[in-house]
Amino acid sequence: MSVACRFLSSALLHRATACLSMTGCRNSCSNNRQMHWIRQIGTVANAPAVCARPVNLTYDVFDGKGDKTPLVFLHGLFGSKSNFQSIAKSLVQRTGRKVLTVDARNHGKSTHSPMITYEAMTNDLTQLLAQLRIGKCILIGHSMGGKVAMTTALTQPNLVERLVVVDISPAPTTPLTNFPAYIQAMKDVKVPNDVPRSTARRLAEDQLRKHVKERSVRQFLLTNLIEEDGQYSWRVNLEAIGNHLKDIMSFPAFNTSYEGPTLFLGGTNSAYISSEDYPEIQRLFPCADIQYIPDASHWIHADKPLDFISSLVAFLQS
C-alpha cells in the first residue's frame, strides 16, 4: 500500500502531509446517543510478578448502555488511569460504549514488579481482558501505553478491533526524552513526615525544579506523590522503571503486521511522530491513518480534550 498525500479541512484537525491510505480497512457504524455512566472500581487477581507473568492491574469501568465493542485506555510513563477519567465519561455519553481505563504495572495502584517490558505489560493486559471476559476491544494508548497497544495488536490481532496510538510511533524515543533526569530527580526528593499535603507538594516541586524545568511536567510527576500514615512516597516503581528505561524507550522488533483500522494521533507541537516514522508505521500497520491536532503537545488529551474526543469519535464512526 502506497503513501498517499491528503489534507483534512476540519478546523479541529489537519493531517500529516504524507498520510497512510485507509483503503481496504473495515468500516463500522456508530450512533451518537446520550448515555449515563456508572463508575466501577476493581482489581483482577492474577499470577505473582515473576518474569513476564501477569500482575494485578487496577482499573476503572465507565459503563454505558450500549453493547458495542468497549474502549480500553492505556496511559503513558508516570501516568495513571485517572489521566483519562473525564475523557472516558465523555466518550460513554457520546458513543454509549463501555470504557475501561487501566493502571499499568508499577503505576497507579497496580502491582509493582521488578520487570517492566512491553511483553510483560501486554501479558498483564491480556490477562485482565480475559478475566473481565472482554474478547475484543478498541485499544487507545498514549506514549508508553501506545506501545503496549501496538504490541498487543501485533501479537494478538483478534483481540483488537481497532487501534488508536496517541503521540508515539514504533520507533525508539530515547533522543526525545529527559526521563533519566526525571527519575533521578524524583529519587532525590526528600519530604518531612506529617506535613500537610499542600506543603509536601510545594517542597517536592521546589526540589524537582532544578532538573525538571517545565512546570507542566513537574505537575504531572507530582500526581505520583502519595501519603500513607504521614509518610510521603512515590507510587510509581522508580527502581524498576530506571532499570528498564531502555526497554521502555525502545520498541520490540516485529515481522508481522496488524491489518485492522488504525489511527496515529499526534500533536503539532510534539516530535514523537515524525515523517521519518511513516515507513515503519506503514509496514506494521498498513491500514493506518496519521492525523495531527494543532497546538497540542505530547499530552494531547490534556491540551486539547475536545479535539481529542472528536477525533476518536470520528475514527469510531469511519
Residues forming the active site: 143, 239, 298
* Cα–Cα distance for residue pair 278/208, rounded to 1 Å: 36
Contact 116, 236 (CB under 8 A): no
160-166 and 262-267 strand pairing: parallel
CA neighbor of 156 nearest in space, from 120, 123, 128: 123
Q: What b-and-e string marks burial along 34-48, b requiring 16 or more CB atoms within 10 Å of the CB?
A: ebebeeeeeebebee
Contacts with 154 (C-beta within 8 Å, 6 or more apart), sequence order: 254, 256, 257, 258, 284
| Residue 2 burial class via C-beta count within 10 angstroms: exposed 0-12, middle 13-18, buried 19 and up | exposed
CA neighbor of 156 nearest in space, from 124, 131, 132: 124
Output Rg (C-alpha) for the chain, integer angstroms. 19
